[in-house]
Amino acid sequence: MSIDPKNKNLAMRLTLLLIASLFFSACSMDQTLVRASIPMIEGGVEALNHETDLDLAEDSIPANLNMLQGMIKIDPENAELHTYASQAFYGLAYGFNEDSDPERASDFYVRGMNHGIRALELNGASSLLDSKLADFNEQVSQMRDRDVPAMFWTASCWAKWIDMHRDDPEAIAQLPRATALMQRVIELDETFYYGGAHMYFGVYYGSRAPTIGGNYQKSKEHFDRARAVTNGKLLIPDLLQAQYLARQQLDRKQFHELLTGIISAPDDLMPELGLQNQIAKRKAALLLEKEEAWF
């Protein structure tokens, strides 16, 4: 018995449609599971922030980051996942690699910046790396509350990478873009991530002489505003003020007092940010070792 070619073609099309529907259903199911897991990521970040054992924290971050990147492969259009990746790469670079392996930290900052830019572009921006500065600034001016986390972590990674390449004119030329993003963060939510944008501008104005755009008064005001957000319980503003403003002003007394104050601060000063404060303590000790050479 022969099969009607028309029926054969119909059967083939139906089979292909069935296979395709199963494939896309599987993809959709995987993405649904990934999106349902996002609260677990948030819980993991919160738990990590409470950790005061730096070795334990450092050991746990790569596995969590690999898991996050696996989730991004399943759901690559998820801006929230890219934002978390940007934050994770920043934390890994700043907390655990910058002082011991600068080249690796630099790479992590770039990867974090790229994830942040991807998040912003998924939210509606376009060609942020390739656009002219005026077009970039116009896009940034249109960003809204939902963009704040991605803007913050993108700018944080970008600025740290620039700081590590401050002898490269092409790197320095990118600073206005990171600064525009962070200025928009201040406009939308100055308290985001414990006043992190104010810490950015504390460094921005404090790390340069007034003749090339520095402003010591503005720097101090931004650091004070950052401290006010946590009632002085987060130690990073003191660390950055010592590292950048006090050093730039050649104020050895302020440098020493800020750093020794960090080291002597109680370990339970702010339990929900215990990890950040322990990182500040370790970095403060490293900076104190440079006091004689710098002053």
pTM attached to this predicted model = 0.89
pLDDT-based confidence at residue 22 (cuts at 50, 70, 90): very low
Residue written as token pair 């998924």 = 122
Instruction: Give the C-alpha separation, 78 to 76, whole Å.
Output: 6
Residue written as token pair 């998040």 = 119
Can you give the length of the chain in residues? 295
Q: How far apart are the first and last CA of the chain?
A: 97
pLDDT-based confidence at residue 222 (cuts at 50, 70, 90): very high
In the predicted model, is pLDDT for residue 274 greater than 70?
yes
User: What count of Cα atoms within 13 Å lies in the side-chain half-sphere of residue 189?
Assistant: 15
DSSP state, residue 138: H
Closest CA to 262 of 1, 246, 90: 246
Domain 38-181 has CATH 1.25.40.920: yes
Convert the pLDDT of each residue in 47-62 to its tens digit: 999 999 999 999 998 8
Instruction: Give the C-alpha separation, 187 to 196, whole Å.
Output: 13
Closest CA to 295 of 247, 240, 245, 242: 247
Question: Are the C-beta atoms of residues 111 and 138 closer than 8 Å to each other?
Answer: no
- How many Cβ atoms are within 10 Å of 272's Cβ, its own excluded? 13
pLDDT-based confidence at residue 10 (cuts at 50, 70, 90): low
| Collapsed DSSP state (helix, strand, coil) of residue 132 | coil
Instruction: Give the C-alpha separation, 39 to 84, whole Å.
Output: 12
C-alpha R_g of the chain: 23
CA distances from 38 to 50, 59, 252 (A): 19, 22, 46
Q: Domain residues of the chain, as ranges? A: 38-181, 190-295
Alpha helices per DSSP H over 207-269: 216-229, 236-240, 247-248, 252-264
CA distances from 122 to 188, 282, 294 (A): 19, 37, 44
Burial 67-105 (b: 16+ CB within 10 A, else e): ebeebbeebeebbbbbbbbbbbbbbbbbbbbbeeeeeeb
In the predicted model, is pLDDT for residue 4 greater than 70?
no
Convert the pLDDT of each residue in 154-210 to its tens digit: 999 999 999 999 999 999 999 999 999 999 999 999 999 999 999 999 999 999 999
Please name the residues in contact with 68: beta carbons below 8 A apart, sequence gap of 6 or more: 41, 81, 84, 85, 88
